[in-house]
């Protein structure tokens, strides 16, 4: 259901910046803003230009000095009239602007509603609309480039080509049915099977790209584990080159899970500092330890940290053995505090493992670059560099293609029972409809609401 009222929402951060952007879209967008804009008559103003002025509330109080940009339908993102207001990024100003227009006929936009209107107005198909959300959420340069290929219509073009081939084949089959009484063979069974096999290869290539790809949107997660006071917080600060985590000599200082993001190898890497793993009577700390154990299975890389100045406890041995068993080569063993006197039994224990081993001083930032290089090596193994061809990352597309694959196989194999061409033509129409679901030519309100509800507010 396409609601044609005027919607409004911030489309940028509402804090932490100098300027924020508020968007209105709908039939009355220009008229509504014009009522409170002091500089020019926006209803007569030319689209595609900036206008500076003041927003004045109904009580004649100035809300803010703003810059207004007008897009006139259909030359806009949504295909409707759009007004974008640049104001100072202060939450009180933004809230006052929003309330002013909501009280004068606008409605707060739902998540993804601007893009949903763009789709419903034919500005983009469904794969391109989904690519908008993927671009925003992508946590690697490769993921952004792949999503841009989708936004530019890469998958749409491929689906269109596949549909054309099937429509041409279905047309030949139906033409043959029209001339069946004259015993004219327009297309043979062997030709149909051959064309189905070619189509199956194309579909399998797309499916395989999904199976072999990593989730570009996820980025890389690196978990720091070890006993309390082993230096995890100091190591995280050294990696980030800033004091983000509280460093204390008191065991158990980091009871909760703390994370920070940096960019390595064109990929967003999230470092997660955790509660130290040990047996404890403190139920708050024990809860944090339980969460660490669950996180180990989910993250991409584990940095197992050991204090070289201390002996090896049974818990430490059990921890590392479990990590190696569960994560294998995704574990990097780190011996910390090389600036202190090293215990031989500890270094011997670490050297007994074949995994990556790095000796550092988190406190003095010694060998931290070597550790970053080791992490970079893991990232390169996990994340493909900028793809030149489409990599399928959308689960909805993947599921529909799997259904199409099964239908093609069933149709092809049915020739062993010598089916009538009218049945094959009916199967091909089903495949055409399934391909149309990918691009949104055939869809339902439930599917659309599910897709766009996952978008961020303001997009």
Give the pLDDT confidence of 225-251 residue by residue, as tens digits.
888 888 888 888 888 876 544 333 444
Whether residue 118 contacts residue 129, with contact meaning beta carbons closer than 8 Å, is answered with yes
Percent helix, percent strand, percent coil in the chain, to nearest 5: 45, 15, 35
CA 107 to chain centre: 27
The answer to whether position 285 is within a domain reads yes
Same domain, 314 and 399: no
CATH number of the CATH domain containing 161: 1.20.120.430
The answer to whether position 165 is within a domain reads yes
The answer to whether position 1 is within a domain reads no
CATH number of the CATH domain containing 110: 3.30.1360.120
Same domain, 345 and 225: yes
CATH number of the CATH domain containing 296: 3.40.50.300
pLDDT for residue 1 is more than 60: no
pLDDT of residue 438: 94
Task: Tell me how many domains the chain contains.
Answer: 3
| Residue bearing the bigger pLDDT, 381 or 391 | 391
Same domain, 357 and 281: yes
| Residue bearing the bigger pLDDT, 420 or 360 | 360
pLDDT of residue 379: 82
The answer to whether position 230 is within a domain reads yes
Same domain, 278 and 246: yes
Domain boundary among 95, 125, 155: 125
What is the mean pLDDT of the segment spanning 303-315?
A: 85
pLDDT of residue 288: 43
Same domain, 52 and 153: no
Same domain, 229 and 266: yes
Same domain, 243 and 369: yes
pLDDT of residue 182: 55
pLDDT for residue 178 is more than 60: no
The answer to whether position 134 is within a domain reads no
Q: What is the DSSP letter of 227?
A: S
pLDDT for residue 180 is more than 70: no
pLDDT for residue 34 is more than 50: yes
Could you tell me the pLDDT band of residue 286, with boundaries at 50, 70 and 90? very low
d(CA 187, CA 454): 46
pLDDT of residue 278: 45
Same domain, 168 and 232: no
pTM: 0.78
Strands 62-71 and 82-88: antiparallel
Reported as a single tens digit per residue, the pLDDT across 98-132 is 999 999 999 999 999 999 999 999 999 999 999 99
Reported as a single tens digit per residue, the pLDDT across 44-88 is 999 999 999 999 999 999 999 999 999 999 999 999 999 999 999
What is the mean pLDDT of the segment spanning 415-438?
A: 88
Domain boundary among 125, 150, 165: 125
Of all residues in the chain, the percent with pLDDT exceeding 70 is 86
Whether residue 334 contacts residue 371, with contact meaning beta carbons closer than 8 Å, is answered with yes
Reported as a single tens digit per residue, the pLDDT across 253-278 is 344 457 778 888 888 888 888 755 44
pLDDT of residue 253: 39
d(CA 321, CA 397): 40
d(CA 189, CA 185): 10
Task: Of 21-25, 171-175, 357-361, 380-384, give the range with the top mean pLDDT.
Answer: 21-25
Residue 34 is part of which domain span? 7-125
Whether residue 301 contacts residue 223, with contact meaning beta carbons closer than 8 Å, is answered with yes
In angstroms, the first-to-last Cα distance of the chain is: 18
pLDDT for residue 203 is more than 80: yes
Same domain, 175 and 304: no
The answer to whether position 130 is within a domain reads no
Peptide bond into 74 cis (omega under 30): yes
> CB neighbours (10 Å) of residue 329?
12
Whether residue 244 contacts residue 237, with contact meaning beta carbons closer than 8 Å, is answered with yes
Same domain, 102 and 205: no
Same domain, 247 and 174: no
The answer to whether position 347 is within a domain reads yes
Whether residue 36 contacts residue 127, with contact meaning beta carbons closer than 8 Å, is answered with no
Same domain, 33 and 83: yes
d(CA 421, CA 6): 51
Calculate the average pLDDT of the chain: 84
pLDDT of residue 176: 62
DSSP element (H, E) containing 45: none
Of all residues in the chain, the percent with pLDDT exceeding 90 is 44
What is the mean pLDDT of the segment spanning 335-363?
A: 86
The answer to whether position 35 is within a domain reads yes
pLDDT of residue 275: 57
Helices 189-212, 395-413: crossing angle, 10 deg rounding: 150
Rg of the chain taking only CA atoms, in angstroms: 30
């Amino acid at each position: 259901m396409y609601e044609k009222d005027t919607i409004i929402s911030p489309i940028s951060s509402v804090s932490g910046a100098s300027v924020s952007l508020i968007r209105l879209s709908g039939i009355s967008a220009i008229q509504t803003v014009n009522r409170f804009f002091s500089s020019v008559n926006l209803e007569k103003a030319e689209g595609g230009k900036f206008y500076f002025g003041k927003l004045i509330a109904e009580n004649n109080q100035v809300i803010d000095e703003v810059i207004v940009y007008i897009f006139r339908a259909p030359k806009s993102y949504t295909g409707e009239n759009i007004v974008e207001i640049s104001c100072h990024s202060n939450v009180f100003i933004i809230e006052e602007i929003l309330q002013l227009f909501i009280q004068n006929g606008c409605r707060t936009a739902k998540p993804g509603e601007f893009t949903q209107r763009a789709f419903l107005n034919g500005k983009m198909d469904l794969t391109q609309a989904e690519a908008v959300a993927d671009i925003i959420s992508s946590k690697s340069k490769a993921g952004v480039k792949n999503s841009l290929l989708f936004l530019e219509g890469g998958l749409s073009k491929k689906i269109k080509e596949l549909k054309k081939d099937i429509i041409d084949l279905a047309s030949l089959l139906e033409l043959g049915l029209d001339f069946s009484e004259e015993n004219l063979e327009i297309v043979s069974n062997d030709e149909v099977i051959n064309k189905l096999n070619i189509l199956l290869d194309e579909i399998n290539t797309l499916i395989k790209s999904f199976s072999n790809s990593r989730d570009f949107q996820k980025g890389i997660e690196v978990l720091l584990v070890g006993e309390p006071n082993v230096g995890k917080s100091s190591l995280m600060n050294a990696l980030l080159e800033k004091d983000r985590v509280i460093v204390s000599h008191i065991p158990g200082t980091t009871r909760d899970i703390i994370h920070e993001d940096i960019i390595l190898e064109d990929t967003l890497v999230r470092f997660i500092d955790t509660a130290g793993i040990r047996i404890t009577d403190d139920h708050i700390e024990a809860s944090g330890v339980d969460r660490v154990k669950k996180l180990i299975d989910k993250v991409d890389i584990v940095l197992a940290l050991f204090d070289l100045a201390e002996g090896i406890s049974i818990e430490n041995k059990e921890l590392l053995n479990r990590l190696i068993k569960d994560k294998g080569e995704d574990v990097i063993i780190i011996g910390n505090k090389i600036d202190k006197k090293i215990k031989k039994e500890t270094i011997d224990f670490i050297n007994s493992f074949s995994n990556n081993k790095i000796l550092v001083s988190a406190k003095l930032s010694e060998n931290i670059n070597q550790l970053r290089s080791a992490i970079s090596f893991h990232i390169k193994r996990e994340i493909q560099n900028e793809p030149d061809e489409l990599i399928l990352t959308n689960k909805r597309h993947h599921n529909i293609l799997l259904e199409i694959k099964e239908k093609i196989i069933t149709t092809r194999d049915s020739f062993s029972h010598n089916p009538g061409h009218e049945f094959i033509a009916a199967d091909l129409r089903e495949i055409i409809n399934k391909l149309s679901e990918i691009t949104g030519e055939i869809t339902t309100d439930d599917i659309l609401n599910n897709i766009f509800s996952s978008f961020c507010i303001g997009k």
